[in-house]
Each structure stands twice: as C-alpha cells, then as structure tokens.
C-alpha cells in the first residue's frame, strides 16, 4: 500500500528553515547534574544570541535504565533556570512532543516511508543484544526480509507493541540535588548578569558599547544667544559657525569650508555648556550632548565603539552638532607625563581622531567640545582640521558681569534701589554661575524678610553669602575674642585708608561666617582694573598683614586668625618675585609657570633648587618689609585704631561710610592746632630758659599720660593673656 506523501510535505513545511536550531537531549537514566545544566545553558545561549530556536528532546527510549521522577526533574530544572524551550505541542510548537517515547506516531510514519522506499524492513526475529553488538546476527539471511506487506501487518497487530511506560517519582532526592548543585550555579549566573548590566548602563553585555549621547531638538534646548551674556567675543566666534550651518551656500561659493570643530576653553562656571546649547538653538539643528567620561569603560574597545556609533548616528541626522563636555577625560595627551599609558582611553582618542578626519565638512556636522584643562589635551586633537577654533570663555569683565546680572534678574522683581554696576564692582573675578547664585540668594533673602521685591541691600548680603558664607548666629565669641577680632579687622581697614594705592573700604564686620571667617573687611574698587602696579601690590601686601600687625601692637601677642591673610600675602609676594619681575635681585627672570591656567591658580617652579631657596628668602624679605610698614602706620595712628575698634565692638558691623567718618574725625582731632603753632613761632630767642621750662613741662605732661595709658591697659592685657 502506497503512503500518502502529503503528510510528510506538511511536516516539512512546519519545520522552521533559515534559522539556528539548537537541541538539548537529556536522558532520564540518571540525575540531572551540573554538567547537564551547563550543556543546556550553552545551547540555549547560542539559540538566543542568534534569534534561533532551543529544542528540548528527552531521550527515554532506554526505559529499562530510567530513574523514577527524572523526567519531571528535567522539566522543573529547565523552568527554574529560565531555559525555556521553543518547540512542542505544549508551547504551540509545530513538531512532535519532547519525550521520544511519545513520538512513536511520528517515527512510525517515517519508518513506513523508509520501508516503502526500500531502505528498511520489519523484523520479528528473536535476537539478543549481544548478537547485535557482536555482529553475529546475519541480516542477509534474515527470513523477515521476504515478508509481504500483508504478513507484516498481521504480525504487527499480533505483537501489540507499546512503547510507553509509567515512570516512578523520586522528587525528594532530585530536589536535594537541585538545591545543592544547580541553584548556586544559577545564582552565580544571575549575579554575573546583574553586574554586567550595571557596568553597561543597564543594557547587559550585548549593549556595553552602546552610545549614551542625548539628542535634543531646538525646542528642547530652549537656549539662544539672548540667554548668554558677558561673553561677547565667544558669541561672535560661534555666530559665524551658526551662520555657516544656516547658510552654507554663501561660504562654499567663495571656497570656504565649515570648521570641523570648536574648542570652548575657560574656567568652570563661565557658560561653556550654555554656549554650546545656544549654538544648537540658534542653528535649529539636532544637538548630540555627551560627557567625555561616558566613553570610558573598564573594557578595552568600548569607548571606541561608542565613538563610532555616535558619529554614525550624527551623520544620519546631519546637519547637526556634537557636543562633548569635559573632553579632557578622553583627550589627554598620550605622553606619559600627562597620565598616558591607558589603553582604553588611547583607543577612544584614536577613534575620535579618525572620525574627525573622516567626515566631509560639507555634510554640516560640527563638533563642539568644552574643557578647563587645555594644556593636557593631545596635540593631534588641537591641530587645524580637527578643532579649527579655540573659543576662550573667560571670566567676565565689569560690563559682562552687569549684563549677566540683568539676564538672570529678568524674571526677578527688583525695587528702585538696585544698582547692578555697584554689585558688579564688588564681585570682581566672579563667573556666570556665581552671579546667578547671587541673584537667587538675594531673592530668597527678600522672601525671608517678608518683602516682594529685591533691594540693593539684599544683593550685597547675597554677595557676602556666596563669598564668605552665612552668618553663624550660634557662634558666640568671648569678650576678649571680640576685641582681638575687632582690632584685627580695623587694622586691615585702617592700613587700607592710610595708603594711597589701596581700594576703598565697603564694610567691616566681626560677625562669624559659615566658611570659617570670624570677621572680614570688604574692599570695593572704584573702577575695573586689568593691570596692577607694583605700588598697588605692595599696598595690598601691607593691607593683608595689617590685621596681624594690629594684634601685635595692641596685645603684644598674635593669634591664629591671620592664617588666611598670611596665605594671601605669601601668594602675592611670590608672584611679584617669580612672575612679575618686581624683585631687584632676580630682575626679569620668570621663575614660575602656571600649571592649570583656567582650573586654578597653582604654579610650578621653573628653576633650580638653589634658586628656589633664594626665592623663598626674597619672598620672606618682601613680607617682612610689608609687615614693618603696617606696624609703622598703625603705631602712628594708634588713637584712630582704638576708637574705630571700640565702635566696631559695640556695633559688630559698620559700613565704609561710617568708617571713613570716624577716621576723618579722629585724624582731625590729632592734628596740631594752628594757634598753638603760631604762638610757638612767635617766641623769641631771648627766652630760652622759659622755653626749655615749657618743653620740660610739656614732656612731664605727655610722658605720664602715655605711661598712664599703658598702665591702664596693662592689667587688661595681662588678664587677657591669662585667659588665652
């Protein structure tokens, strides 16, 4: 009887083609140990990584050696480990069941097809396994080869062959083996997968090299050049780039090419990132923003992969802008002096260099990068053709600070007393972020005081909060400490008032601040300066040590309160000697160079050890001269020092106007009267004895008075020493 071949055609059509199919075939003749699970995991991972099919076939045909409950254990182990299978009727698969003994119908049809094609025959002979294995059984002489189809059918019906058998359950023993062997392995695998996802940013092992750049549209940035103030030169340089992106035709006609990149360089907080967003907002193009640290991973090659993916995506969205913030994280010089020798960072840098060379300038792809450490960047990155422009985003000048204050205050309610120019004068050296913080602090202070508008007083108080911290109301100084701090701060202010080249005093206070200051003197320049003369620097030195000099003059001792003053004075004196050429001994020699021009003011000595020792001696000499000058000025104006200090102890805080009123009044009182001078001039030479007597009398009046003053102070000083 000829079989219907449509069945086999239908089965062949059900089997998936053109995809990976992995098969795991455990046998229930023993427990499922770790080696079985490892094989299953390996085949499952291959199928999943190639979007293929994982097939489970339980080989139970050797039923005489089966273990009770083994089939259930296999199913349960696979399920608990998450190794799901993809074929079989229980999961809607197209092919036969998983258990081989249950596939008799499928096997039987194909066996009959094989018999029909002459590739096999039915055999009903009694033979042993040993005969089969030894080859003693003679298949050629097998009488069953001559059976007709009818005879075969009769013998099959008479045999009644059943391939199924009930398998006993040994769940308890198998469960113990799972708990002791399989579960620890699974936990290790889960932990490993979790760690890999964390290192890859949540995407698993396969996504470790994925690009992390954020894409902003023009509406999402919401920043234009109107929102950037105080950086007119930087804006002008970037406006040309924006115009090129918007109107490339008028540049390409003459033969000009779009700059491949622009490097924004400047101190922290000056608005480099804000400028980059403004460029994207003005150009109305996609904006890819990523930090340099996002490229760096522990796996070598991941950073390079992310660079490739970033540029591929940017090319699809051209014209667009790529902004890499803190590019020094991946752009450091490959020289070992600057921390080179990192394979991952160097590969990332090499890939970035290759990508910047590879794209066409006419495609409208622009790279912006920001850093505050340009001195550590690789020279290959800075050459023309990669970063064609270096845009300096420096600290704003007086006009720039005024403009920045206006930008940040446009949504803040101000009263008529506000003068942004005065605030700008008081915040020399401040960057945009500092000024924005000051405006916000002023608004908070106004709300705390119950007002709906910000005043000039609020702004000045906010300046103090940002520079020296908030007032520490719970830090109460003793009477002796208040006196010392008062004399210390008045020493600074008085020396400043007595010198020609010093800046005017704005405020004196002995209220402790959160940043550690027990008091301070605020000086505000009358105008913005870009240069400092030697006379001005020496006046500044005298002012710095004026507080320490006042302590020594009044109390005949010194305290730790002058530590910051000494630090500032030493810094100025060293710069005068090593950088400014203001030392007669060294002349015009440059003995120090800046280490980080924009990040901090740290310098590095550029001389021999012997010269460095001489530099230290010269700096000490300059500081000693300044200290002597401060002591001279304060000694000559001791009465003024005492009266202003007494007034400050009572009020705790005095303005620059109050300080100058007391200063002028006391100084006028100490001036000799004109009538006395005229009387002394009118005396004749004929009265020498009388004149001598008068002089002696004056001396007797003056000396005791001075002695009395010292006597009055002596107990207080002694008592104060005991307290200290």
- Whether residue 486 contacts residue 648, with contact meaning beta carbons closer than 8 Å, is answered with yes
CB 637 within 8 A of CB 583: no
CA distance 8 to 297: 54
Catalytic residue among 87, 489, 551, 618: 489
Residue 526 CB coordination number (10 Å): 8
- Say how many C-beta atoms besides its own lie within 10 A of residue 51's C-beta: 8
How far apart CA 712 and CA 706 sit, in angstroms, is 10
CA dihedral of 634, 640, 644, 646, whole degrees rounded to 10: 100
Beta partners for residue 265, in sequence order: 371, 392
Spatial neighbors of 156 by CB under 8 A, at least 6 apart, are 122
Contact 339, 332 (CB under 8 A): yes
Look up residue 30 and give its DSSP letter. Answer: S
What is the residue-wise DSSP string for 637-687? THHHHHHHHHHHHHHSEEEHHHHHHHHHHHHHHTSPPHHHHHHHHH--TT-
d(CA 281, CA 199): 33
Dihedrals phi, psi of 224, to nearest 5 degrees: -125, 180
Q: Which residues of 234-247 are buried (b: 16+ CB within 10 A; e: fewer)?
A: bbebbeebbebbee
Write the DSSP assignment of 348-390 as a string of letters. HHHHHHHHHHHS-GGG-EEEEEEES-GGGB-HHHHSTTTS-EE
The tokens describing 421, both together, are 């120019």
For the chain, the distance separating the N- and C-terminal CA atoms, rounded to the nearest angstrom, is 121
The pairing of strands 505-509 and 520-523 is antiparallel
- Tokens read off for 382: 């800075």
State yes or no: is 489 an active-site residue. yes
Q: Is 99 left (phi over 0), alpha (psi -120 to 50) or beta?
A: beta
Rounded CA separation 320/135 (Å): 77
Which tokens go with 537? 């620097």
Token representation of residue 207: 């996504």
- Residues recognised as catalytic: 489
């Amino acid at each position: 009887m000829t079989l219907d071949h449509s069945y086999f055609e239908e089965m062949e059509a059900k089997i998936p083609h053109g995809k990976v199919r992995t098969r795991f075939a455990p046998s229930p003749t023993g427990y499922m140990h770790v080696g079985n699970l490892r094989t299953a995991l390996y085949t499952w991972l291959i199928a999943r990584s190639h979007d293929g099919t994982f097939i489970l076939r339980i080989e139970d045909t050797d039923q005489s050696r089966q273990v009770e409950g083994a089939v259930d254990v296999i199913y349960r182990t696979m399920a608990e480990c998450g190794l799901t299978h993809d074929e079989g009727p229980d999961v809607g698969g197209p092919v036969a069941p998983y258990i081989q003994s249950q596939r008799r119908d499928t096997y039987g049809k194909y066996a009959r097809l094989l018999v029909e094609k002459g590739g096999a025959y039915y055999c009903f002979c009694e033979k042993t396994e040993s005969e089969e294995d030894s080859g003693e059984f003679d298949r050629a002489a097998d009488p069953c080869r001559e059976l007709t189809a009818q005879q075969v059918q009769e013998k099959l019906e008479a045999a009644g062959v059943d391939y199924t058998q009930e398998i006993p359950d040994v769940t308890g023993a198998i469960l113990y083996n799972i708990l002791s062997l399989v579960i620890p392995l699974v936990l290790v695998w889960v932990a490993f997968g979790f760690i890999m996802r964390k290192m890859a940013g949540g995407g698993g092992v396969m996504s470790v090299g994925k690009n992390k750049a954020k894409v902003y549209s023009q509406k999402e940035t919401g920043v234009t050049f109107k929102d950037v103030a105080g950086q007119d030169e930087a804006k002008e340089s970037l406006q040309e780039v924006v115009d090129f992106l918007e109107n490339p035709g008028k540049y390409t006609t003459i033969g000009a090419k779009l700059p491949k990149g622009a490097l924004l360089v400047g101190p922290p907080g000056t608005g480099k990132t804000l400028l980059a967003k403004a460029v994207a907002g003005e150009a109305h193009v996609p904006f890819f923003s990523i930090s340099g640290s996002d490229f760096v991973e522990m796996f070598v090659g991941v950073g390079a992969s992310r660079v490739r993916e970033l540029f591929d995506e940017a090319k699809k969205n051209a014209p667009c802008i790529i902004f890499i913030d803190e590019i020094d994280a991946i752009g450091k010089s490959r020289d070992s002096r600057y921390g080179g020798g990192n394979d991952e960072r160097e590969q990332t840098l090499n890939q970035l260099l290759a990508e910047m060379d590879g794209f066409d300038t006419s495609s409208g792809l622009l790279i912006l990068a920001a850093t505050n450490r340009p001195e550590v960047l690789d020279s290959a990155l800075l050459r023309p053709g990669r970063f064609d422009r270096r845009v300096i985003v420096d600290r704003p000048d007086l006009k720039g600070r005024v403009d920045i204050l206006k930008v940040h205050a446009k949504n803040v309610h101000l009263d008529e007393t506000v003068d942004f120019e005065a605030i700008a004068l008081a915040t020399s050296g401040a960057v945009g972020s500092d000024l924005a913080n000051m405006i916000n602090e002023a608004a908070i202070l106004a709300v705390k005081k119950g007002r709906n508008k910000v005043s000039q007083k609020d702004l000045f108080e906010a300046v103090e909060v940002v520079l020296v911290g908030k007032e520490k109301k719970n830090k109460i100084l003793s009477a002796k400490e208040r006196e010392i701090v008062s004399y210390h701060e008045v020493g600074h202010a008085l020396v400043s008032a007595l010198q020609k080249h010093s800046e005017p005093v704005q405020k004196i206070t002995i209220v402790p601040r959160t940043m550690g200051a027990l008091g301070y003197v605020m000086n505000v320049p009358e105008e913005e300066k870009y240069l400092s003369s030697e006379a001005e620097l020496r006046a500044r030195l005298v002012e710095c040590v004026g507080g320490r000099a006042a302590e020594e003059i009044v109390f005949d001792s010194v305290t730790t309160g002058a530590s910051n003053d000494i630090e500032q004075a030493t810094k100025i004196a060293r710069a005068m000697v090593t950088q400014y050429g203001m030392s007669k001994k060294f002349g015009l020699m440059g003995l120090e160079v800046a280490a980080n021009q924009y990040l901090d003011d740290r310098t590095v000595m550029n001389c021999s050890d012997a010269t460095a020792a001489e530099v230290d001696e010269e700096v000490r000499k300059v500081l000693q001269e300044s200290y002597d000058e401060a002591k001279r000025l304060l000694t000559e104006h001791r009465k003024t020092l005492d009266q202003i200090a007494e007034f400050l102890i009572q009020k705790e805080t005095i303005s620059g106007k109050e300080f100058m009123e007391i200063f002028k009044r006391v100084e006028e009182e100490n001036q000799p009267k004109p009538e006395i001078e005229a009387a002394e001039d009118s005396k004749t030479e004929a009265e020498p004895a009388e004149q001598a007597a008068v002089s002696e009398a004056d001396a007797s009046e003056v000396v005791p008075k001075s002695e009395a003053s010292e006597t009055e102070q002596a107990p207080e000083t002694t008592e104060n020493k005991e307290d200290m």
